Amino acid sequence: MAIDINTLLAWGATYKKVAEGEIIFNEGGHCSFYHQLVSGSIRWMNINDEGKETLQVMIEPGESFGDLPLFDDGPYAATSVANEAAVIIRLNKTTFLQLLKENPDIHFAFSRLLCEHIRFKFLIVRALAEHNPEKAIACLFAYFKQKKKNICSKCNKVKLTRQQIADMLGLRVETVIRTIRVMHEKGDVLVDKGKVYC
C-alpha cells in the first residue's frame, strides 16, 4: 500500500537515501518510523546464527515495510536491506498513528494490507507443509502473478533470482534450479536465456 507522498510530506515526512547493501533497520530493533519505498529495491529478511537469509518479501516502489511494530509496539520482525541504491520516505511513528486516526480510509487500507500479508504467510506455510518444491514454487508464482508483484506484467518474467526464490521458500538453491528445470520440461514455465517466465 502506498500513502500519497504529498500527504506524507504534509504530515512532516522526510526523504532518506540509502546505499546498496545498507541496513535500514535490524530484526529486534525499536521502531520509530513508518517507511515507504520511493525508488530502488529492498529485501526484508531474517538471518539465522549461521548467516543464512530467509527472505520474507521483496519491497517494490510504493510499498511500505516494517509495519508490524507501528501497531503492536513490538520490535522489528525482520531486517531490511537495500538491494540497490534507494530512496525512502519516513514519517515519525507517533505522527503516523495520528495520521491514521484522522484518516480512517488510510487506516482501513492498512488493515487490508496486513491481512494480505498474513494470507501470504499462510499460503507459503501451506505450500511448504506438502514437502513438494514444485507445488511450492508454482504456488509462489501464481500468487505473484495474481498480485502483479515480482513478475513483469507485460512479459510474465519472474523478477526474483533462483537464490531469492530459495530463500523465500526455505529451499536449497539447487532444489529450486532442478525444480524449475522440471517445470520447464513439463511446460509449466518457460526458461529462456536463464530467465524464468510463467
pLDDT of residue 108: 92
pLDDT of residue 1: 66
103 backbone dihedrals φ, ψ, rounded to 5°: -135, 80
Instruction: Give the burial class of 102: count Cβ atoms within 10 A of its Cβ; 0-12 exposed, 13-18 middle, 19 or more buried.
Output: exposed
All domains in the chain, ordered by first residue: 5-99 (2.60.120.10), 130-197 (1.10.10.10)
Distance CA(68)–CA(66), nearest Å, equals 6
Q: One digit per residue, pLDDT tens: the chain, 198 residues?
A: 689 999 999 999 999 999 999 999 999 999 999 999 999 999 999 988 888 888 888 999 999 999 999 999 999 999 999 999 999 999 999 999 999 999 999 999 989 988 988 898 898 888 888 889 999 999 999 988 988 888 888 888 999 999 999 988 988 999 999 999 999 999 999 999 888 998
Give whole-number Cα distances, 125 to 1, 2, 134, in Å.
Answer: 23, 27, 14
pLDDT of residue 106: 94
β-partners of residue 197 are 157, 190
Interior CA angle at 39 toward 163 and 106, to 5°?
105
Looking up cell 525444480, which residue turns up?
A: 179
Would you tell me the crossing angle of helices 162-169 and 133-147 to the nearest 10 degrees? 100
Distance CA(137)–CA(157), nearest Å, equals 14
Distance CA(114)–CA(46), nearest Å, equals 19
Distance CA(42)–CA(137), nearest Å, equals 21
Distance CA(188)–CA(182), nearest Å, equals 9
pTM: 0.81
Instruction: Identify each DSSP E strand in the chain by its residue range.
Output: 14-18, 23-25, 33-39, 42-47, 53-59, 64-65, 79-82, 86-92, 190-192, 195-197
pLDDT of residue 51: 82
